[in-house]
Amino acid sequence: MSDTVFKKGIILAGGTGSRLYPLTHVISKQLLPIYDKPMIYYPLSTLMLAGLRELLIISSPRDIGGFESLLGDGNQLGIEIQYAVQPKPEGLAQSFIVGKEFIGDDNVALVLGDNVFYGQGFQTMLKRATSRSTGATIFGYPVKDPERYGVVEFNDERQAISLEEKPDNPRSSFA
């Protein structure tokens, strides 16, 4: 996807993994296997398919070393990976504060380290999203129990107007 206006990507690989406890008591959920590879490989592949080659992985002080050990500097994958620590989980927007130096003046794509994207038409949606020079694209998926996830609220034009993490009273069913 060479027509992307994005040069850099951020993978937010934080959180406590409470829904996977006790497995996540000693390891980041993004390092757990999904079929034959660690979960983080899926969002990493998404960014690579979008043509991004400069990536920042943000994680907790406890887990950052596991990602560094697994992925190194990214050279073996043909990409450049940097790392940053998020002292405590304080929301998605904090990723842009933690990654400020990495981002500089460039456009950046943010993906969550525990999101797996798949399905017919995904490549087309990804291409459309990464070719935007303004605004943002949020990929959401309807779930039965939105109070367990980060939830996006839309206006009547289907534009995202708010994001809320694990709300008691979700404003939509899209996570």
Residue 172 CA to residue 152 CA, distance in Å, equals 7
Same domain, yes or no: 41 and 114: yes
Give the DSSP H/E element, type plus range, for residue 70: helix 64-71
- Residues 99-114 have pLDDT tens digits of 999 999 888 889 889 8
Confidence of residue 42 (pLDDT cuts 50, 70, 90): very high
**Amino acid sitting at position 125:** M
Considering the domain architecture, whether residues 42 and 83 belong to the same structural domain is answered as: yes
Over residues 116-137, the pLDDT tens digits come to: 877 667 777 777 777 777 777 8
Burial of 18 (0-12, 13-18, 19+ CB in 10 A): exposed
Mind giving me the DSSP string for 20-69? GTTGGGTS-GGGSEETTEETTHHHHHHHHHTT--EEEEEE-TTTHHHHHH
In this predicted structure, the answer to whether residue 37 has a pLDDT above a threshold of 90 is: yes
> Does residue 2 belong to any structural domain of this protein?
no
Query: How sure is the predictor about 5, in pLDDT bands with cuts at 50, 70 and 90?
Result: low
The proportion of the chain whose per-residue pLDDT surpasses 70, expressed as a percent, equals 95
Domain that holds residue 147: 140-175
Residue 143 pLDDT class (50, 70, 90 cuts): very high
Same domain for 123 and 73? yes
Residues 73, 149, single domain; the answer is no
